[in-house]
A and B are shown apart, each in its own frame.
Chain A
Amino acid sequence: MNWHSVRAIFGHEMDRFFRTVWQSLASPVLSTVLYFVVFGAAIGGRIQSVEGVAYGAFIVPGLMMLTVLQQSVSNASFGIYFPKFSGTIYEYLVAPTGWIEVTLGFVGAAATKAVMIALVILLTSFWFNGVHIAHPFWMFAFLFLTAIGFSLLGFIIGLWAKSFEQLQIVPMMVITPLVFLGGAFYSASMLPPFWEAVAKLNPVLYLISGFRWAFFDLADVPVGLSLVAVALMIVVCLVAIRWIFLTGWRLRE
């Protein structure tokens, strides 16, 4: 294992984050605060509670998840796509650096950025909504695992993409709808039985449900299933990334 290489890639990616801190940190935090204001304060005032939790607090885990998923995917996909676009990807391919080191560097940095943003949002939510956390350990566990899982997915998207349009299309057309339909703003139990069954086909619902359970002890699906879902996602993504690097698909073409 080439740890200097992991550190170099991780540091390089984090440098970009801090170089564009307003875009990287302030922008997603501001967007989420606006959600708090609109859904929590304006609309939330008209919704008494969801399963005993004030609506303003109920949406906090979902909004954190929304941000983590979007940021993980966009950071990791852009991180690996940019060297492909600029041509500097050759450096990673000629260095004595394997797919594990490259993945650890890029995905580690993307997940770290997403978690940092999520934690800032969490701090903000304490001020807005007075949120409490029932299972802090599991909250952090779900946060990290989800950030890693979706950073891996973003990394695959970045490896696959041949243009900036392709880079944007999957997060816009797939990830965001899945999050919105995954119970970010409501509980699946609020849906009619048929649509509740359909909603449970959405893998993101399991992540949001597990995360919300860590906050409020409330879950749409068993917590164990949520853990299995995120673990399965990580394993499948790792297998795919390994295959991409070993075959050189979209890398050495």
Chain B
Amino acid sequence: MSAIIEIDHLSKRYGSGTPALNDVSLSIEEGEILALLGPNGAGKTTMISIICGLVTPSGGTVRVGGHDIRTHWREARKLIGLVPQEILLEPFEKVIDCVRFTRGLYGEGPDDAYVEELLRSLSLWDKRDARTRELSGGMKRRVLIAKALSHRPKVLFLDEPTAGVDVTLRREMWQVVRELSKQGVTIILTTHYLEEAEDMADRIGVINKGEILLVKPKAELMGEFGKKRLTIDLYEPLSILPPSLAARGLVLAENGMQLGYDYDANADRTGIARLLADLTEQGIAVRDVATTQSSLEEIFMSLVADEPREVRA
């Protein structure tokens, strides 16, 4: 795969002097889904806004499809669709007119067949003649997505697209995103539903204080940072954990029926075999054993540990 977006030493400093982005470099491959995670004010929206043309960078370059966003902005912007964080729609417009309008803005002639296909794929066809103010929050989000896709972009930016959307609609929207990805559309999304990033993304980038902390394939990130927990169910309750087991890092649950043990799944020796042997030696009967992987949320929190405990973008 080749890079469709190349960000090179990008920086942005606002009037107050606060750096919103600091020397960010990133390459985004064609057809991938990249999830950008970071706390409030981390720089995610600033980065998206610069690439899309809403914010002028203080330094660095961005190329979209090989076109510099400042010198060849028309060519670059034709490749991009943006779904903004807030629901921004003209309240008195009909849904279908909104989509046709955006298509025109992007220099594309009328194509009612495509607009119909698009609205049907987003379950908006029945609402095509409704004014946008009459729609629910979830429906409005879909209209924003339809507008962003109206000119068949190669890159789609989704800035917290599922905020305020109910679970059913959210699942349906992510299905649409998956379909788009299958069609080769590159998707860059920010979200505060970390399980969605975990579920959807091919790669995950963590941004904090205007700097990219890391960008890694999701599986690699989970493997590298992921800790596992071994949970041991007991036949008989334990009142006190023997000191030799406590020294190994075992933790006894309040009801005395369960032991917990955190370990690094990638370590050469996890210590599990030795632990189970020790339990047998101590005469503790094991009923069941289970392991769980730490979630992306836990990984994310550990990466931005010095930030306030808030995960919204």
Interchain CA distance A82-B74 in the complex, whole Å: 25
- Verify if A222 is at the interface (C-beta below 8 Å from B): no
Q: Can you list, as one digit per residue, whether each of B86-126 has a CB less than 8 Å from chain A (1) or not (0)?
A: 10111110000100111111111100000000000000000
Chain A residues with Cβ under 8 A from B97's Cβ? 12, 15
Residues from chain A with Cβ under 8 Å of B100 in the complex: 8
| CB atoms of B88 and A5 under 8 A apart | no
Contacts of B54 in A (CB 8 A): 90, 93-94, 252
If A15-B97, A252-B54 touch, does A96 touch B90 (CB 8 Å cutoff)?
Answer: no
- Which residue of the partner chain, among B53, B75, B80, B104, contacts A4 with CB atoms under 8 Å? B104
Tally A residues with Cβ within 8 Å of B. Answer: 27
CB contact between B88 and one of A2, A87, A248 (< 8 Å): that residue: A87
Q: Which residues of B contact A82 (CB under 8 A)?
A: 90
Instruction: From the candidates B53, B75, B103, B108, name the one contacting A93 in the complex (CB within 8 A).
Output: B53
B91 touches A86 (CB 8 A): yes
Provide the A1-37 mask, 1 if CB < 8 A to any CB of B, else 0. Answer: 0101101110110011001000000000000000000
Interface flag for A91 (CB, 8 Å)? yes
| Residue of A8, A93, A95, A98 ringed by the most chain B CB atoms within 10 A | A95
Please name all residues of chain B whose beta carbon is closer than 8 Å to the beta carbon of A91 when the two chains form the complex. Answer: 102, 105, 147
Known: A95-B77, A252-B55. A2 touches B86 (CB 8 A): no
A-B CB contacts (within 8 Å), total count: 75
User: Is there an interface contact between A4 and B90, defined as CB atoms closer than 8 Å?
Assistant: no
Closest CB in chain A relative to B99 CB, distance in Å:
11
- The answer to whether the Cβ of A130 comes within 8 Å of any Cβ in the partner chain is no
A177 CB–B CB distance under 8 Å = no
Chain A min CB distance to B238 (Å)? 60
Contact B84 A96 (CB under 8 A): no
Query: Do residues B90 and A90 form an inter-chain contact, with CB atoms below 8 A?
Result: no
Q: Min CB distance, A27 to chain B, in Å?
A: 18
Nearest CB in chain A: distance from B302 CB, A: 35
Cβ-defined contact, A9 with B55, below 8 A: no
A92 touches B90 (CB 8 A): no
Contact at B109–A252, with CB atoms within 8 Å? no
Chain B residues with CB under 8 A of A86: 88-91
A2→B75 CA distance, assembly (Å): 12
Rounded to whole angstroms, the CA-CA distance of A83 and B90 in the bound complex is 7
Contact partner of A252 among B56, B89, B105, B108, CB < 8 A?
B56
Cross-interface CB contact of B104 among A5, A83, A90, A98, cutoff 8 Å = A5
Would A7 and B104 be within 8 Å (CB), given that A83-B90, A94-B52, A248-B56 are in contact? yes
Docked pose: A68 CA to B158 CA in angstroms: 43
**Binding site secondary structure of chain A:** helix
- Across the interface, name the chain B residue whose C-beta is closest to A95: B105
Instruction: Choose among B54, B86, B147 the residue with the greatest number of A CB atoms under 10 Å from its CB.
Output: B54
Verify A92–B84 contact, CB threshold 8 A: no
The distance in angstroms between the C-alpha atoms of A5 and B89, with both chains bound, is: 18
Render A169-207 as a binary contact track against B, CB cut-off 8 A, 1 for contact.
000000000000000000000000000000000000000
Contacts of B86 in A (CB 8 A): 87
By the criterion CB–CB under 8 Å, are A5 and B107 in contact? yes
Let me know if A94 and B77 touch, CB within 8 A: yes
Q: How distant is the Cα of A11 from the Cα of B100 in the complex, in angstroms?
A: 11
Determine the distance from Cα of A153 to Cα of B106 in the docked complex, in whole angstroms: 26
Bound-state Cα–Cα, A95 to B103, Å:
10
What residues on B are CB-neighbors of A87 within 8 Å? 84, 86, 88
Chain A residues contacting B74 (CB-CB under 8 Å) are 2, 96, 98
| Minimum Cβ distance to chain A for residue B114 (Å) | 14
CB distance from A238 to the nearest CB of B (A): 20
A213 to chain B, nearest CB (A): 40
Q: How far is the CB of B164 from chain A (nearest CB, A)?
A: 16
State in angstroms the CA–CA spacing of A94 and B105 once bound together: 10
Residues of chain A contacted by B147 (CB below 8 angstroms): 91
Bound-state Cα–Cα, A92 to B80, Å: 13
A residues sitting closer than 8 Å to B (CB atoms) are 2, 4-5, 7-9, 11-12, 15-16, 19, 82-83, 86-88, 90-98, 248, 252
A-B contact pairs, 8 of them (CB 8 A): A2-B107, A4-B108, A8-B101, A9-B104, A19-B92, A91-B105, A94-B82, A252-B54
Q: Which 4 A-B pairs rank lowest in CB-CB distance, beginning with the nearest?
A: A8-B104, A87-B88, A96-B74, A95-B105
Known contacts A4-B107, A93-B53; 18 further A-B pairs (Cβ under 8 A) = A4-B109, A5-B104, A5-B105, A8-B101, A8-B103, A15-B97, A86-B90, A90-B82, A91-B102, A91-B147, A92-B105, A93-B54, A94-B53, A94-B77, A95-B77, A96-B73, A96-B77, A98-B74
